[in-house]
Structure 1
Amino acid sequence: MKKILFLFLALHLSGLGFAQVKVEHLLTENQTDPLSIDALTPRFSWQITEANKRSVMQSAYEIKVKKGNHALWSSGKVISDQSIYVPYKGETLVSGQKYTWQVRVWDNSGNASGWSAPASWQMGLLSPADWKAQWITPGFAEDSVTRPSPLFRKAFSLSKKVASATAYITSHGLYEAQINGHRVGTAFLTPGWTSYNKRLQYQAYDVTALLQQGKNAVGATLGSGWYRGHFGYNPTPNLYGKDIALLLQIDITYTDGTKATIISDDSWKSSTGPVRFAEIYYGATIDDRMQQKNWSTTNFDDKGWYGVTVKDFTKNTLIATYNEPVRKHETFKPVKIFTTPKGEKVIDFGQNLVGWVQMKVTGKSGDKITLSHAEVIDKAGNFYTDNLRTARSQNVYILNGEGEETFEPQFTWQGFRYIKVEGYPGDLKPEDFTAIALYSDMAPTGTFNCSNTLINQLQHNIQWGQKGNFLDVPTDCPQRDERLGWTGDAQVFSRTATYNMNVHNFFAKWLKDVAADQYESGSVPFVIPNVIAQGLKSGPGASTGWADVSTIIPWNMYLAYGDKRILEDQYSSMKAWVDYMQHQSKNDLWNTGNHFGDWLFYSENDDNDGHSAITSKYLIAQCFYAYSTQLLINAAEVLGKTEDVAYYNNLLAQVKAAYLKEYVTPNGLISSDTQTAYVLALQFDMLPEGLRQQAADRLVANIHRYNNHLTTGFLGTPYLCHVLSRFGYADVAYRLLLQDTYPSWLYPVKMGATTIWERWDGIKPDGTFETPTMNSYNHYAYGAIGDWMYRVIAGIDTKTDGPGYKQITIKPTIGGKLQFAAADYETNYGKVSSHWKLDNGNLILDVEIPANTTATIYIPVSNNGTVTESGKPVNTDAAIKLAEPISGYLVVSVGSGSYHFISTL
């Protein structure tokens, strides 16, 4: 009887339109319950979930916002399917205040959801006047050589019970804070790296649980970091300043509603502790004998400490943090401990990673242990660090002798798979060493796997290359004396990056530094933040394919996330770069300046037979000139800038005409007869329609001349397989992907790589190494093939007219003797899946489409084949609409839901 009653109620409620859809995963400015929003009109996003129902679309929404019990804004019922980036339109928001919001939606059947669980956000400090804290520096004379990390502390008393408390912290240098002996937050390398003279981030922390009525103490340790550490080319100190300084403010609300504020000021004390040295390239020295135990607690006597000096540093550059902080992630135990032929004790962790090693040890006071880091072991089996150049990459630990001690470094990191251990008292045991991965805390979004184990390892390497190099900024390498935000590497990999992890906030932050450090001429520096010509109005830059970061990444982020604000924020920078190229051109031909070209393309040492794949740098520049102009036009169209659309369309036509006149014969032969030349011409539509297929044929002929190997470098490689599959040569693209001899993607895999290499032959077939001056084994650029694996093999893509996967394309490409391939991708709307496998002449394709989106699915099928969905002919389900077929595919349009197709091949 109870079951019958329950069923009756469920059907009755369903008929009334209750609880048919759910609203979950609420975000404010792409963050979950953020604590420091400084956007005055924050935007709201949510996901709609509905099990076992197809074609669910949002037809309307309603948002309500409160401050405490006070209703601040109600949108009313808004007829719209928009569920991401919905702007707040209520009362003016106040610095430091916390707000809550909820949303409910109606679906396209008229069913209403319940109100979502509340989400919250807190405004940051919106103006310099909101900062009551003062900048403080150590009150003692610093050792200017080793620069031990200063400690700052302040004891204070709270007269009442704390209801809520937020700490706002930043620094010149890096900081780690403590309250009452407990670490504040879980982030590392804060406040992160930005163009410090123009943009300095602060972080906000909920520290309510760390404070208590009565006595309290707060402290912070600082390190030199990017701000004043030895960094950049010919590592130089004090790039942004010589000082090291702290700015800290805790805003407290008591349970009775009254408030208090704790600030950094002249009442603080300063000293030094166990961190005697810490540099990004060189590592850290930790002397446990110098510990000041309980220094951040109320029980500590700081009478012997120095005072501090208050400084009048600017607060006008302070900005809230939106990107994910660097945090600890995976851990690895040793897979092998061995002695090299040279007699050195070495530990292998089995994975090239970025972070550090945590070590446990028991010994005598004064015992010194040195951990050195390396990516590879040489041909003879010895520890190899020549490719680190001047980066010492060593952590030194000095014991206090008081039982078991645990060490890990501060204010530095290493890129490594192996460590060499010197001075360790006793035998090396696996349980005493743990490698900890460190990278920006971006949510994983994509997975890809297939029936080929080497490709699966390649995908693993791509993801670990991204993890190791997405450490607050997209670095070119994590191990040697570089670790800079190289623009070319970032732009070629940016679309792949969006599949593996949610890089929306990560790149939005970095792109603002691209604009901040862009020269007045519109030229873009090679690295961002620009430490090569820091603070200058002009300097090295403007290399094609590198400076185009200013147009390519904003557009890729817009495609992946559908966020127009990225285009709005970057539009001036995009336009300035295109205008720079125009001003450098004569008769619409850009053939001046210094360019890196198709960096690290295939090259023979002896080029007497012309075997090296040399592509004219100016030809490449003209192609990217056109591409950036096209992307600027695209952005202008999205933003409604009609005058710019007209102007730059005219410019684009002239740029392409100049390219044809200078570099292409009437029959379509490109003057640089290389793979990269044809790839860029076809990818960027530089050729008239009538010359494109012959160019693709020439490209394939070139590949065959190289015995089915690629010869492309940084600029040609990302587009190579895309061009081949677009022009009917998917089989050749697969052949290149599956090639496992040099040069190829799988050659490093066969050589044991666990990340992507900088060079195609970083380790040669005979076990020797490429030139050590530039030979990184964790360098993600060539991992851009991952984009093709997701978008073509699995077939998951977004339509330009419906960016951010509002309108989805699923178009798998069968080939490469793969028996199956599967990709899952978490979009702003929910999970998209495309899984296919071959089964006795049939293709089984399982697709998942999230609510509030639509999809066009291309189902591979033979000319006379049939297609079923869930066992029924595909044309019998009203939710599946047939579209115009294309060669080799049956095309259907669907809404959300799960679909099980079987087709005859």
Structure 2
Amino acid sequence: MKKIHVFAAIIGAISLFSYTGYSQVKVQELRCENLNNPVGLDVLQPRFSWQLATTQRNVLQTAYELKISKNNTVVWNSGKVNSDSSVHVAYKGQALEPDTRYSWQVRVWDNKGKTSGWSAPAYWQTGLLNAGNWKAQWISSGLPGDSAGGVAPFFRKTFSTAKKVQSATAYITAHGLYEAQLNGKRVGDAFLPPGWTSYNKHLTYQTYDVTSLLQSGKNAIGVILGSGWYRGPLTWSKLKNYYGKDAALLFQLNIHYTDGTTETVISDNSWKAATGGIVSSEIYDGEVFDARLQKTGWAGADFDDSQWAAVKIKDAPLSNLSASYNELIKKHETFTPTKVITTPKGDQVLDFGQNLVGWVQVKVKGKAGDTVKIAHVEVLDKKGEPYYENLRSARAEDMFILKGDGTEVFEPHFTFHGFRYIRVKGINGPLNPADFTAVALYSDMPLTGDFSCSDPLVNQLQHNIRWGQQGNFLDVPTDCPQRDERLGWTGDAAMFSRTATFNRQVNNFFAKWLKDVAFDQASNGAVPFVIPNLTSVFPDPVGATGWSDAATIVPWNTYLAYGDARLIEEQYPSMKAWVGYIEKAAKNDLWNTGFQFGDWLSYRAEENDAFNAVSAITDSRLVAQCFWANSTQIMINAAKLLGKTEDVNYYTEQLRRIKAAFLKEYVTPNGRLVSGTQTAYVLTLYFDMLPEAMRPRIVGELVENIKHYHNHLTTGFLGTPFLCHVLSRFGQTEVAYKLLLQKTYPSWLYPVKMGATTIWERWDSMKPDSTFQDPGMTSFNHYAYGAIGDWMYRTMAGLDTYDDAPGYKHIKVQPHPGGGITSANASLKTYYGAAAAGWKISDGKILLNVEVPANTTATIYIPGSSAENIQEGGQALSSQKDIKVSGTEGGYVVVNVGSGKYAFTGAF
């Protein structure tokens, strides 16, 4: 008997050893539809992603097993699936039930013969899935003054829970914006929901787990509505009631009790409405809040609402509803003033040190009726006064009227501002900076990328790029946050989209916006200039190159960054319709008809021009032909991805004709372009519009043009994103660095030298003498020119992905040192894990550090002429079994590696 126990102990020890070996690879960072434990998905086949964690090199997944459970009962098990897929793996089980929480786990097998343990459980919760599961009714207040520009209506309802609650989920949306409370506590941490969509076609609802907010017995729901984009004034035309006249609420609370029963609390005619402290709250003009009118405890269960009015039922559709899956707007960084300024006119101004988008929280004491006014501006003029002119008709002012009962704290509800400075009126005596806090608002996109280099001005440029993106990615990719515009301009989004994918995770952000691109696309395929579209401002269904190309460029760039093939599948009809529109507009394979923005805001020469040059205006039809070719190439790529062979053949032939027509129309017999601008050269080269033999001449003319402008760029919105990429591709990286590091106008670093903390709309939004460009169109927070970031990350630092395995499944690392820069580093949180590339030049050597996440591979280009002169980890490459040398190419030694961390050194 004793021998049996000893044998069992030995077997147990062997099993423990084996289990420890299996655990060398772990599964972590579980995501469903790119989100961590999302609540309220209406995706019928959600996709799962996970990461492999290991300290070993060259680890690849060879198989996985997914297990999905409901109430601790397995409802689907994939079984062992032989696949290296660990990103966007689709659910293939039985039909999902609405308003239901599912948990999931995954385990994997790797190429080392090891099996992971089951991951820790993650979960997702379904939304209502279809309109038939809505029991709620649309309600509006019917109160006098509840109108665009008027008061914000307050709604409430009481109900009781007599049983023990297991879970409670609130589903909420509005015609307008909403802020909800349950028993006086805020529901969720999102601001300005449901955001902005093409409401009449596509309205999102939000889902909240409110289990912890319920109390035994009597409960109360309170909701405030704001006009928002739905009926508030929009654009310089002050369009009111664009989507409808009445702010309305749709609310449904599904309660599950521990005894298995359920109860539903809905918006219906049992609700009551009244007004409160919000006298008005509009996006452009700001908010007026009168604390004397606020009803203390109005959202609590014991509040007396006997004097509140009955609500009205609204006849509004439910068929346009879908659950939010994009990240909502939330509060982020906060800033305290860095300076208190008294202007020449005697006004008190606070400088927060950063141009941001959001609002200011104020602490103040005073008498009842005292009024504090806060005006928001981006810059001060050369005299030191706040500069209001570039706000155009936007008042951008918050007004708080005190109740007079000690210290009062205010912040607005349904507005946002673009500002660095605020002018404060209504407070006697010197301002106390501690009483003012600026709060940054933007969509809650996870921070993914980081870049730095040895040049502090370039690092500030990266800071400005990131803050330009954050401030303008406020549910839609806006063009500016301060003036009476703030629209989702398609050209800006298209040109910046690849840069955006590095700084923050924008997969869901763009997927949501692209739905509206398709919804608002005209029947003839034209894509509006702004999305959501405002037909009262842009009534004609026409498209413009670069802008309307967002329909193809943004989906494809998003796919390259995240490997999201479903996005391409869903957007393919829209993509195809857009290219079809161009084909119909073209004549003899030339798109030379209709309106074009051209290379928007390119360099314009002024009197006594320092460059002795003319304005860099590119033939808009040449630009259109290039972008038509690009969108056609994207259609070829997308059709191949989706297995649409006929479309591949069709677009391949079309692309041949487009380029042949370009050569005939825009290139002289001797090989000269009809437009001699940087943008013309760049687009021609970037989109491969010429046979290879003709390209060297165009490269040479581009370089000469840059020299003529004393190493300044002259490109506008459509040329800038590709300028440095073209130079590096054709062996002119040093010229690209001269452009990047140029400090005088026009250049990327000129605004940095002028104190910018975000990207400007124009190269000279502020001129060297501190005067301003045209105030009708000068924003100091406008991300488009920040597209240089893409070159900084993917070329300068060298962290890139291959098209054959997008989403960084196959990573490309090819640094491009130069310009006197001694180091550059880029890191990125991919769906597979952390990827990084960083180089440093010191003592005649280059050090290249690379991190490759598990379940990916990388091709690394190490500067050098021979593998014999390169070491990794202090040892010769020839001695490293995990590194495969594949040859040399263009001054690089090329190696192939699997996952792991690598440190290469070589002569430089």
TM-score by length of 1: 0.98
- Residue number in structure 1 paired with 2:298: 295
Q: Could you say which residue in structure 2 is the equivalent of 1:31?
A: 35
Q: Distance in 2 between matches of 1:728 and 1:341?
A: 53
Whether the 8 Å CA contact 1:358–1:406 is kept in 2: the answer is: yes
Query: How far apart, CA to CA, are the structure 2 residues paired with 1:825 and 1:410?
Result: 34
1:774 equivalent to 2:766? Answer no
8 Å contact 2:326–2:508 — kept in the other structure? yes
> Is this contact kept in 2: 1:460–1:754, CA < 8 A?
yes
Contact 2:180 2:186 in 1 (8 A): yes
Q: Secondary structure at the match of 2:906?
A: strand
Counterpart of 2:842 (choices 839, 842, 845) is 839
Aligned to 1:582: 583
Equivalent runs, 1:344-363 vs 2, <5 Å: 344-363=347-366
Distance 1:495 1:18 in 2: 38
Q: CA deviation at 1:771?
A: 1.1
Report the 3-state secondary structure (helix = DSSP H, G, I; strand = E; otherwise coil) of the residue aligned with 1:519.
coil
Q: Which amino acid aligns with 2:879?
A: T
Q: 1:494 maps to what in 2? A: 497
- 2:4 is matched with none
Measure the CA separation in 1 of the matches of 2:430 and 2:260.
Answer: 59
AA matched with 2:596: H
The equivalent residue for 2:893 is 890
Q: Deviations over 1:436-459 (max 9, x none)?
A: 000000000000001000000000
CA-to-aligned-CA distance 1:704-757 (integer Å, 9 cap, x gap): 111111100000000000000000000000000000000000000000000000
Residue type of the alignment partner of 1:564: A
In 2: Cα distance, 1:463 partner to 1:684 partner: 27
Tell me whether 1:19 sits opposite 2:23 in the alignment: yes
Q: Is the 8 A contact 1:363 1:425 kept in 2?
A: no
1:734 alignment partner in structure 2? 737
CA contact (8 A) 1:140 1:307 kept: no
| TM-aligned CA deviation for residue 835 of structure 1 | 1.2
1:452–1:209 CA distance, 2 compared to 1 (3 A):
same
2:666 aligns with 663
**Alpha-carbon shift at residue 140 of structure 1 (Å):** 2.3
| 2:881 maps to which of 855, 868, 878 | 878
Q: 2:431 is paired with a residue of what secondary structure?
A: coil
Rounded Cα–Cα distance in structure 1 between residues aligned with 2:149 and 2:236: 20
Q: Is the 8 A contact 2:469 2:500 kept in 1?
A: yes
Matched, 1:868 2:877: no
Contact 2:236 2:393 (C-alpha < 8 Å) held by counterparts: no
Distance 2:524 2:814 in 1: 43
Give the whole-Å Cα distance in 1 for the aligned partners of 2:498 and 2:453: 20
Matches within 5 A, 1:406-445: 406-445=409-448
Q: 1:101 aligns with which of 98, 104, 129?
A: 104
Residues in 2 aligned to 1:804 and 1:409: alpha-carbon distance in whole angstroms = 39
- The SS at the match of 1:516 is helix
Match of 2:206 among 185, 203, 208: 203
Alpha-carbon distance between aligned partners in 2 of 1:637 and 1:337, rounded to the nearest angstrom: 59
- What letter matches 1:200 in structure 2? L
Structure 1 residue 364, shift from structure 2 partner: 0.2
Matched with 2:237 is: 234
Give unpaired runs (5+ residues) of structure 2: 1-8
Instruction: Tell me, yes or no, if the aligned pair for 2:175 and 2:248 is still in contact at 8 Å.
Output: yes
Q: What's the CA shift for 1:865? A: 6.8
- Measured in 2, the distance between the counterparts of 1:178 and 1:803 equals 43
Which residue of 1 is the match for residue 475 of structure 2?
A: 472
* Distance of aligned partners of 1:876 and 1:338 in 2 relative to their CA distance in 1, 3 Å threshold: same
Aligned-partner Cα distance in 2 for 1:90–1:566: 21
**Which residue does 1:225 correspond to in 2?**
228
Name the structure 2 match of 1:125. Answer: 128
Distance 1:165 1:643, change over 3 A: same
Equivalent AA in structure 1 for residue 551 of structure 2: S
Partner of 1:554: 555
- Residues 220-250 of structure 1: CA deviation (Å, up to 9, x unaligned): 0000000000012412101100011000000
- Aligned-partner residue type, residue 589 of structure 1: L
2:486 maps to which residue? Answer: 483
Cα displacement (A) at 1:143: 5.0
Letter in structure 2 aligned against 1:665: T
1:242–1:236 CA distance, 2 compared to 1 (3 A): same
Cα RMSD for the two superposed structures: 1.5
Q: Are positions 1:147 and 2:132 aligned together? A: no
Q: Is this contact kept in 1: 2:149–2:232, CA < 8 A?
A: no
Partner in structure 1 of residue 754 of structure 2: 751
The equivalent residue for 2:696 is 693
Task: Select 2:797's aligned residue among 785, 794, 797.
Answer: 794
1:263 alignment partner, one of 266, 271, 292: 266
Give SS of 1:409's match. Answer: coil
1: CA distance between counterparts of 2:310 and 2:680?
64
Once the two structures are superposed, the pairs formed by residues 261-340 of structure 1 within 5 Å of their partners are: 261-340=264-343
Q: CA deviation at 1:864?
A: 8.9
Q: Distance in 2 between matches of 1:672 and 1:787?
A: 26
Residues 14 and 894 from structure 1, CA distance in 2 versus in 1: closer, same or farther, beyond 3 angstroms? farther
1:823–1:835 contact (8 Å) kept in structure 2: yes
Aligned to 1:565: 566
Find the counterpart in structure 1 of residue 5 from structure 2.
none
> 1:825 aligns to what SS in structure 2?
strand
For residue 110 of structure 1, report the CA deviation from its aligned partner.
1.1
Contact 1:48–1:829 (8 Å) recurs in 2: yes
Q: Percent identity?
A: 60
| CA spacing shift, 1:328–1:352, aligned 2, 3 Å | same
Moved more, 425-434 or 320-329: 425-434
Sort the Cα spacing of 1:674 and 1:302 in 2 relative to 1 into closer, same or farther, 3 A.
Answer: same
Q: Is the 8 A contact 2:622 2:666 kept in 1?
A: yes
Aligned residue number for residue 41 of structure 1: 45
* Structure 2 residue corresponding to 1:519, chosen from 518, 522, 531: 522
Deviates more, 1:433-442 or 1:599-608: 599-608
- Deviation of 1:667 after TM superposition, in Å, equals 2.5
Pair 1:568–1:848, CA change in 2 (3 A): same
**Paired AA for residue 792 in structure 2:** M
Q: Shift of the alpha carbon at 1:142?
A: 2.8
For 1:215, the aligned partner's letter is K
SS state of the match for residue 79, structure 1?
A: coil
Q: Tell me by how many angstroms 1:9 deviates.
A: 5.6
> Secondary structure of the residue that 1:78 maps to in structure 2?
coil
C-alpha spacing 1:145/1:619, structure 2 compared with 1 (3 Å): closer
Q: 5+ unaligned residues in a row in structure 1: which ranges? A: none
The answer for the alignment partner of 2:815 in structure 1 is 812
